[in-house]
Structure formats: structure tokens, C-alpha cells
Amino acid sequence: MSSLDEVRRIVHDVPRGQVITYGEIAALIQTSPRHAGRLVSQLGDGSPWWRVVYSDGSPATCHNGAAPSMLAHEAIPMCGDRVDIRRARAHRPKA
DNA sequence: GTTATGACTCCAG
DNA sequence: ACTGGAGCCATAA
């Protein structure tokens, strides 16, 4: 089981209408936040990468800023230009 | 084995 | 609240 699978499962485990931070993923797989983002990028387009946001709720800076659009389309609680991480933050999948 | 890079986060100003 | 700099781990060359 590679960390990539772990991340992929976590990202897929995030219910619609909620998001998860890179730091949360990094903590779950026991690695640094730097690698967390890298793994999510490697997931490809087959996973809801847009549900993964920064620790302060800002969406990923990639995809030419398409993430906010996806978040809004997913009925994610947003606060201005950032996600309302306070409300949308997904809890741990509880292994 | 070493160097360079990346979808991050934290601390200080 | 915003900006800038440093740290970190893994993969690729």
C-alpha cells in the first residue's frame, strides 16, 4: 500500500459539501505537508482534488484557479474567496 | 549518492 | 490581514 493509495482513499472519503486540508492528509499518512500536496497532484483527474484545500481554506493554486469554481459547484460553504474551512472541514475517516 | 523541484505549512515583520 | 522567508519529505535526473 503506497502513501498514494492512502491519500487517494482519504480524498475519496471526503463527503460532498465538505473539504479537507493538506495538513490533515499529511497528518493521516504521517508525512510532511509538502509531500501531501505532491501525492494529491499525482492522483490525477480521477479524484476530487478540488476538495483538498490549504490549512487556511484557500483552494489549490493549480488548474488556472479552477478549484474555487468546483468548490462553489459542490455546494461547499465558502467565505468570500476562501472556503469556510471552519464548517466544511471533513473529520477524520476514523480508520 | 547528490542535486533540484514541488497542488504545503509555520513563524516573524 | 498580508507578505516574505525557512523547513520538510519524496520522486526524478
A32-61: pLDDT as tens digits: 999 999 999 999 888 999 999 999 999 998
Non-local (6+) Cβ contacts of A9 within 8 A are A93
Q: Which of A51, A39, A42, A46 is nearest to A75 (CA)?
A: A51
Longest dimension (CA), chain A: 39
Looking across all nucleic acid strands, the nucleotide with the smallest C1' to CA distance from residue A34 is: B8
Asked if the model's pLDDT at residue A95 lies above 80, the reply is no
Give residue limits of the domains in chain A: 3-88
CA of A87 to C1' of C13 (A): 43
H or E element that contains A20: strand A20-21
Question: Could you tell me the CA-to-CA distances from A74 to A13, A36, A78 in Å, in that order?
Answer: 15, 22, 11
Task: Look up the pTM and report it.
Answer: 0.92
pLDDT band at A93 (very low <50, low <70, confident <90, very high): low
- All 3 cell numbers of residue A61? 493554486
Q: Which nucleotides of C are covered by protein (CB under 7 A)?
A: 7-11
**What average pLDDT does the segment A63-89 reach?**
91
Map grid coordinates 505537508 to a residue: A33
CATH 1.10.10.10 fits A3-88, yes or no: yes
- Asked if strand B comes closer than 7 Å to A40 Cβ, the answer is yes
